[in-house]
Chain A
């Protein structure tokens, strides 16, 4: 079974631009969650989607948004990029919502650099 796939692997953007990251979950997984990982703040929860609906959201500004499609694939969008948005963005999929009995399966992430 294929794992969680994130594209692209690396991105370089300029301040003020917007970016869209993509995540394909493991087949059969309906939950997709997104995380930001930085050296200073560690790994932080962004949001979670289940059956195309956002179920949970972390403490990030509205510039961070996402969506989930009927095939469970998910995209994350960051608008008006700031230097502080430089990070590794990870997506994870699971059979159940976070907090259930199913573990999270992570992709290898998208490394975003904002210049």
Chain B
């Protein structure tokens, strides 16, 4: 059974720092991995999608990596800003008789001005 873990559950850093969020999964049989952000009371916003055949994806100040063999993904945020404060979730789409998506519990990120 696929499990997705995100550690730490919460992180607070000063503005301007570069930071890394972690996501681990137990089964490497995945189609893709996605990173999302969720603001309080809102839905999820897709940040990056990495296909299983890819190693990384970049968008602006964000870079996500995928290492299927070790069951790990990282989301790197450069030059953090207060507007980056949100909960970040990773999710894997898994092989099964009915393709599903499994979410981590998220990392709540707070950027201090």
Cα–Cα, bound, A45→B98 (Å): 11
Given the complex, which residues of A lie within 8 Å of B98, measured CB to CB?
55-57
Interface of B is mostly: strand
Q: Is the CB of B44 within 8 A of A104?
A: yes
Whether B23 sits at the interface, judged by CB under 8 Å, is no
Whether A86 sits at the interface, judged by CB under 8 Å, is no
Whether B102 sits at the interface, judged by CB under 8 Å, is yes
Whole-angstrom distance from the CB of A59 to the nearest CB of chain B? 9
Number of chain B residues close to chain A: CB under 8 A: 25
Whole-angstrom distance from the CB of A108 to the nearest CB of chain B? 5
What are 30 pairs between A and B in contact, CB < 8 Å?
A4-B43, A6-B43, A42-B104, A42-B106, A43-B44, A43-B89, A43-B91, A45-B102, A48-B99, A55-B98, A55-B99, A58-B100, A90-B43, A92-B43, A98-B100, A98-B101, A99-B94, A101-B32, A101-B51, A104-B36, A104-B44, A104-B101, A105-B46, A106-B43, A106-B44, A106-B46, A108-B41, A108-B42, A108-B43, A109-B42
Binding site for B on A (CB under 8 A): 4, 6, 33, 42-45, 48, 55-58, 90, 92, 97-109
